[in-house]
Amino acid sequence: MSGPQDRDRDGFDDRDGSGWREPEHLGDGSAQGGGTPPPADPPQDPPAGDRGWQPPGWDLPAAEPDRSREAGHRPWQQERPGPAAPPQDESPGGGGPFAPRPPRRPGEFEQVFAYQGDPVGAQGWALQQGWEISDGTGPGDAGLAVLLATAPTRLTRDHRPAGVMRGRYGALDLVAFDVVYADKRRVVPEYAVTAAPVLATLPGLRLSPARFWKHRTGGLVPVPSGDPEFDARWVLLAEADTPVVRRLVEDPTVRGLLLGSDDGDEFWSAPAGAGGDLAGGYVAAIRPDGHRPQLIEHHARLLTAVVGALAAAS
């Protein structure tokens, strides 16, 4: 049983605390009484081999006290900048449902298929050959409407000639143009026509690939050539079976050129009309395409042979 004399047996003095010392497990036991314990040693980094595994990015970057926050330094944004801000609309007038809208940009399809007037350089080629160019509305273009009215294709009142080119190719005077129509906000070339004006009176005829559908053939009769291979691919229709018409399909140059083609052109004769080049008539070729230099030369070779065969038979 303990008495008052045993109060400081464990090192504690309840009267003034002068006998207190720090327990062994909280210090090194060297501090006695009310003294201040020595400062602890700064923690030391373990050797590289003793650190063990840490996930990437676990260590924080070193502090940089020399870079003040007043200068706008934000160390947490240095390594990974945020996404760029979207471009701001600088158009005047601000937003809102009644604000002026920017002009509509044509889509990719419209940019590719929009009619450019001379997309493949046919008019440039014609100028290099010394040909004349017109837009299809000049005084000399009046006869082209008569020519289109007799074409072996289905045309509407919206179809018109455009990009007219006139010049000489070999022994022929030629006129070449596109047959276009307006489709909403653009002009579409649907056919390419090349024609040779002639002074002689021509019989009404049509020379077409056998695979083509025939339009407006009333009153025309077939004229066979006697060549099974040619008749299987080409059909000649005329107002009457005359020596002039038969001479056309019997001509070896005409048959050779047509058999060597892709059967993509139709030929027809147009009667004499008023004004323009149509003083005597036309022998013309048409193809579902827009004009280009190669097509003009292709039509010119075929028309030279067709006109030559008709002239030899007349």
Which amino acid is located at 188 in the chain? V
As a whole number of angstroms, the longest Cα–Cα distance in the chain is 158
pLDDT at res. 189? 87
Distance CA 127, CA 133 (A): 8
Query: What are phi and psi for residue 34, nearest 5 degrees?
Result: -95, 20
- Residues with Cβ within 8 Å of 59's Cβ and at least 6 positions away in sequence, in order, are none
- Residues with Cβ within 8 Å of 13's Cβ and at least 6 positions away in sequence, in order, are 7, 19, 20
- Residues with Cβ within 8 Å of 52's Cβ and at least 6 positions away in sequence, in order, are none
- In sequence order, the β-bridge partners of residue 157 are none
Q: Which long-range contacts (CB under 8 A, 24 or more apart) does 38-45 make?
A: none
- Residues with Cβ within 8 Å of 269's Cβ and at least 6 positions away in sequence, in order, are 202, 203, 204, 205, 206, 281, 282, 283, 284
Instruction: pLDDT tens for the chain, 314 residues: list them.
Output: 555 555 555 544 555 555 666 666 555 554 444 555 556 566 565 555 555 666 665 665 565 555 555 545 454 444 455 555 555 545 454 556 655 566 666 665 455 444 455 655 899 999 999 999 998 888 788 888 888 888 998 888 889 999 999 999 999 999 999 999 888 778 888 999 999 988 877 888 999 999 988 777 778 899 999 999 999 999 999 999 999 899 999 999 999 999 999 999 999 998 765 445 555 688 999 999 989 999 999 999 999 999 999 987 66
Alpha-helical runs (H) found in 187-287: 228-233, 243-250, 252-259
Contact 206, 220 (CB under 8 A): yes
Q: If you compute the radius of gyration of the chain from its CA atoms, what whole number of angstroms results?
A: 48
SS3 category, 235: strand
- Residues with Cβ within 8 Å of 307's Cβ and at least 6 positions away in sequence, in order, are 172, 196, 198, 283
